[in-house]
A and B are shown apart, each in its own frame.
Chain A
Amino acid sequence: MTEQKAIEGCKRQDRISQKYLFDAYSDMMLTLCVRYVKSLPDAEELMLNGFFSFYRSIDRFVYSGTGSLVAWLKKIMINECLMFLRKKGALKMNEERAAEDVPIDSNVADNISAGEIFKLITTLPDGYRTVFNLFAIEGYGHKEIAEMLNIAEGTSKSQLNKARAILQQLVKQNGHYHEQ
């Protein structure tokens, strides 16, 4: 079964097609949710909510090649996570002026594995982690992040800089940083 056929099956509420897509993308989506909300049970619940929304709204989805389904699913999952964090009150950020851009040292990501960097990201505070995920991993701009989180653009930049600083410090503390 191809991805496109599975999507067509999902539009007919075919349970086998739904199971196929769930098996294919549930792991990736659960990882994404954990990256945002840190707690595994919450992330699992959000992932199920996301898939449920996806199956309910699949009639509006237009398949446009490989990757379009993953992008659609990611968008749904990110929305679910942000809604959860908003309800939790984790996205209340004080308005801050935009600080100067503090780039992460390029050597930080070289000697660290994906699992380790994943764990370091989840240790970040909620606000920093959300902005870092949206900017560094998902690739949104500060303007989009500001609209999504209902914050000022400067606050988004400030949060990102703080997240970078903490992450760099955590990498150094864990001994993965080797100065060249």
Chain B
Amino acid sequence: MNSNTAEEKIRMKVEPMSTLQAGIVYGHEEAWDKLQARLDAKPARKVLPWYKVMAAAAALLLLCGTGYLLLRDNDTVTQQPDNGTLPTTESPLSQTPATDHRVATLQDTYTHITVRTAPIHHHHQPQPVQQVDEPTPVVLPEVTYSPEPKVQPTPAPKMKVVHINELGQQEENTAHYAWEEKNPFPHIQFRMKVVHINDIGRPLRQEDYMRTIERTTVWRLPFGHKNSMYNANEQPGSLFRINLSTNRNNEKATFNTGTDMGTDSTEPVVY
């Protein structure tokens, strides 16, 4: 504590001083009004700064993301069957006398899902040796052996083959047919007519085809054009490739397929 006598005197003089003694002039009532207004005012809600809000949102997002990833990882781990081994390719088939199909049940997460695993081959598995005192007659149970399990064939969908040009006409009717007749295969909507190849008609002539191509070819600008890309003589793959070079000696036209399709006529066959 202060033991200085001069300071004690100063303290005695200064401490109980009023504003009037100190020469301070201030509005007492105005000060009270200000204070009263503050006391009447409701406490202002603290507004969090935006960076704090953003930081909290980021932390929450990170937490949710981490939790989601962890849960997803746990799910994938749970779905892996832990009992059962895949057959090795090196093991011969003769060494697979006993195959059993274990049924792994994922009881932890999916109680109703059973997973049938691959057959397990027991290699050199020691069998427990049973101590038999007396030889007991072996009674074999009567086994009814069925050579081939009869598989019930699924009913074949009724399909009708139609020409592609008939699709527009048949579509509405088939839709009607499918729903009205209670067709078990409503996704089959088109009937197709089966036509023998000989009934198609005369094949397309080479010259006619080339003319059609020339008529329908779009003119292209010269730049950026590769001749190899748009060869007018290029024939579509669906048509026969015909070797147009005439072999006068044989007087036959040969197909690219290598099959001798020659005729007796001396003129080259162009189709």
Interface residues of A (CB under 8 A from B): 13, 15, 18-19, 22-23, 26-28, 30-31, 34-35, 40, 44, 47-48, 51-52, 55, 103-110, 113-115, 117-119, 121, 135-137, 139, 141
Contact = CB atoms under 8 A, between A and B. Distances in A.
Contacts of A106: 5-6, 9
Interface residues of B, number: 30
A141 B1 contact: yes
A26 B31 contact: yes
Contacts of A55: 39
B39 A18 contact: yes
Contacts of B24: 30-31, 34, 40
A52 B26 CA distance: 18
B10 A48 contact: no
Interface string B17-60: 11111111010100110111011000000000000000000000
A28 to B, nearest CB: 7
Nearest to A104: B6
A136 B38 contact: no
6 contacts: A31-B18, A44-B31, A48-B38, A114-B14, A115-B23, A137-B15
What does DSSP make chain B's interface, helix, strand, loop or mixed? helix
Interface of B: 1-2, 4-7, 9-11, 13-24, 26, 28, 31-32, 34-36, 38-39
Contacts of A31: 17-19, 21-22, 24
Contacts of A30: 19, 24, 26
**Lowest 9 A-B CB distances belong to which pairs?**
A109-B9, A104-B6, A114-B13, A136-B7, A27-B19, A106-B6, A109-B6, A27-B18, A106-B5
B23 to A, nearest CB: 6
Nearest to B10: A109
Contacts, number: 98
Given A34-B22, A115-B21, A28 B16 contact: yes
Residue from B2, B11, B23, B38 whose CB has the most chain A CB atoms within 10 Å: B2
Contacts of A52: 35, 38-39
Q: Chain A CB within 10 Å — which of B20, B34, B35 has the most?
A: B35
Among A13, A27, A48, chain B packs the most CB atoms within 10 A around the CB of A27
A40 B26 contact: yes
A109 B12 CA distance: 10
A154 B147 CA distance: 108
Given A31-B18, A135-B7, 20 more contacts: A15-B39, A18-B39, A19-B32, A27-B19, A28-B18, A40-B24, A48-B34, A104-B6, A114-B14, A114-B21, A114-B22, A115-B17, A117-B13, A118-B14, A118-B21, A121-B14, A135-B2, A136-B2, A136-B7, A137-B10
Nearest to A41: B26
B35 A22 contact: yes
A118 B22 contact: yes
B29 to A, nearest CB: 10
